């Protein structure tokens, strides 16, 4: 019987390494925390909406937030609910 290798820790390490490199670059470019957080949140939400074809209920589940919170953030960031 072949051993099953869990690749999740490896993927998490890769993501963390990419994030660390991105943060270092943002600091070098003097991008402030609030600006970086806002842009990350906007892209995170827009990607979830795109992947769920604009379904806010499904996008909220993917993001782990309440649908009302997602709706408020869509309005706050002036996002289209489907791109």
Q: Dump pLDDT digits (tens) for 13-33.
A: 998 999 999 999 999 999 999
The pLDDT value recorded for residue 9 is 76
8-76 fold: Arc Repressor Mutant, subunit A (1.10.10)
Residue in the structure block whose two tokens are 């997602």:
70
Domain boundaries of the chain, sorted by first residue: 8-76
> What DSSP string runs through 3-53?
PPP--HHHHHHHHHHHHHHHHHHHHHTT--HHHHHHHHHHHHHHHHHHHTT
Q: Dump pLDDT digits (tens) for 23-74.
A: 999 999 999 999 999 999 999 999 999 999 999 999 999 999 999 999 999 9
């Amino acid at each position: 019987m072949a051993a099953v290798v869990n690749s999740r820790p490896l993927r998490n390490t890769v993501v963390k390494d990419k994030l660390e490199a991105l943060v270092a670059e943002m600091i070098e470019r003097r991008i402030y925390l609030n600006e970086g957080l806002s842009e990350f949140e906007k892209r995170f939400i827009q990607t979830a909406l795109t992947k769920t074809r604009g379904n806010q209920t499904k996008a909220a589940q993917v993001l782990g937030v309440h649908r009302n919170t997602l709706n408020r953030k869509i309005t706050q960031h002036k996002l289209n609910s489907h791109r």
